[in-house]
Amino acid sequence: MNRRRADFTSSLYLGMRHASTELPGWSGLTTGRPAALGVPPVAEGVAKALADLQGTETALLARSTLHAFADCLEVLADEQSGIVLDVAAYPIARWAVRRAAGLGRPVLRIPHQDLGSLAAALDRLHARGLRPLVVADGVCGGCGKPFPLPAAVSRLPSRNGLLLLDDSQSLGLFGDRPGPGHPFGDGGGGSLRLAGTKGPVVLVSSLAKAFGAPIASIAGPAVLLERIRKHGGSAMHASPPSTVDIAAAAHALRVNQVEGNALRERLAGRIRLLRRTCGEQGLPLAGGLFPVQATPPLTAQRGKRLLDRLTAAGIDALLRRDCRGGTAVALVVTAGHTTGEITETAAVLSAAWNREE
C-alpha cells in the first residue's frame, strides 16, 4: 500500500474540512438574487457570532475578500480620504486599492509595518485635509509578525483616520492573552483580540484558512458597516455567499467553540517540533510560532532543487517570495499533520539543505 503524501501546501491551519456529512442538507446553493434583496436567515446568526468572536460591534458576510475589500474601499475611501498602503499587504487588498486609485483616491505606500513611515504619511494626508485610511495585514503571512495595532490605532483618532486590516491569517488562530495552554491566545478571535485593543478598525477576513470555509466577513463599527451594507457594490451586483459556504462557516464556529483551543495547542506543538528538529540538524527556520515555516533565503534554482528532493520523498512544499522580497522554501504546518510526518519532513529537508551548502 502506498503511504499518503505529506502535504505542506494547505492553509487549513486547524485541519477543518467540513465534510458533507458534517453539514445540514440544502435545497439550493443560492437564491439567484442580489444580496441587497436579502440573505439566507442563517447568515445573520453567523455574522453575529463572528462579530462576538472578533470583539467588534457587528459583522457582514461576503463572498470573498476581494468583494469585501472592493466594497470597503468603495464606501470608506471617499473624496475626502487618502489611502496609506503597507507595501507588503496581501495582493487582494492591493488589487482593491488599485481600483480605488483608479477612481482618483491618493495612495501613499509605506514600508512593511514601519511606524515611522506611517506617522509621516498620516501627517502628509492631514496637511492636505484628507482623512487617512490605512490598509495592512493583521498578521503578515510572509514573516508571521502581527501588525503593531495599538501604536497605529493611537495615531488615528486625532486625524479622523481608519484602519482597514486583512485579518485572514489571524482569524481562528490568534486570540486573547497568549500564554501556557493558549500559545496563540484564547478563542481565535484574531488581531483585535490578540492586541487587546479597540478603535477605528474594520477587519476583512477570509474564513478559508484556520476555519476552512470559503467565505469572507467584514467586521467593525456598526455605523460603518451599515454604510457598507447599503452602498457596497457587491450587494447590488452579486449574490450572497452560498448556502453551503454559510453552513461551513457555522460549523467552523461551533467546532472552534468546543475544540478550537485544543486544535491550536496541537498546531503549536507541530510547529515547535518542526522548528526544533530542523534546528538540531543545522537548518534554522523563519516564521516563529506561525504555521508558515520557511528556510533561509535562497536562489530560485536552489529552491527548485530542494522541492524536487522533497517531492521525490513524497512531501509537497512551496517555493515562495516573502514580505521582504526574498525567495525561500516554505512548509505550511497544520493541526492535521502527524508527528511522524513532521519529523520525516524535517529530516529530508535538512539533509537536502545541508547537501546544497
Distance of alpha carbon 215 from alpha carbon 42, whole angstroms: 14
- For residue range 34-43, what is the model confidence (pLDDT) as tens digits? 888 888 888 9
Same domain? For 249 and 265 the reply is no
- Are 146 and 177 part of one and the same domain? yes
**pLDDT above 60 (res 191):** yes
User: Is there a domain that residue 87 lies in?
Assistant: yes
| CA of residue 325 relative to chain centroid, distance | 19
Number of domains present in the structure of the chain: 2
Residues 28, 34, 35, 41, CA torsion sign = negative
Give yes or no: residues 293 and 219 share one domain: no
The CATH number given to whatever domain includes residue 186 is 3.40.640.10
- Percent of the residues in the chain that have a pLDDT greater than 90, as a whole number: 86
- Retrieve residue 18's grid coordinates: 467540513
Average pLDDT for residues 245-266, to the nearest whole number? 97
Pair 136, 184 in one domain: yes
Same-domain status, 101 and 159: yes
Q: Can you tell me the distance from the alpha carbon of 88 to that of 68, in angstroms, rounded to the nearest whole number?
A: 19
With pLDDT > 70 as the criterion, what percentage of the chain qualifies?
99
Set of cell numbers at residue 116: 515611522
In a domain, 60, yes or no: yes
Domain end point (choices 255, 282, 302): 255
Residues 131 and 172 reside in one and the same domain: yes
**Euclidean distance between CA atoms 148 and 151, whole angstroms:** 6
Mean pLDDT of 110-129: 95
Residue 2 has pLDDT above 80, yes or no: no
Q: What is the pLDDT of residues 41-92, one digit of tens each?
A: 889 999 999 999 999 999 999 999 999 999 999 999 999 999 999 999 999 9
The reply to whether 29 falls in a domain is no
pTM of the model: 0.94
- Residue after which a domain boundary falls, among 255, 286, 311: 255
Domain-ending residue, one of 222, 255, 288: 255
Q: Which range of residues forms the domain containing residue 313?
A: 6-14+260-356
Say which CATH number the domain at 318 has: 3.90.1150.10
Residue 357 pLDDT: 64
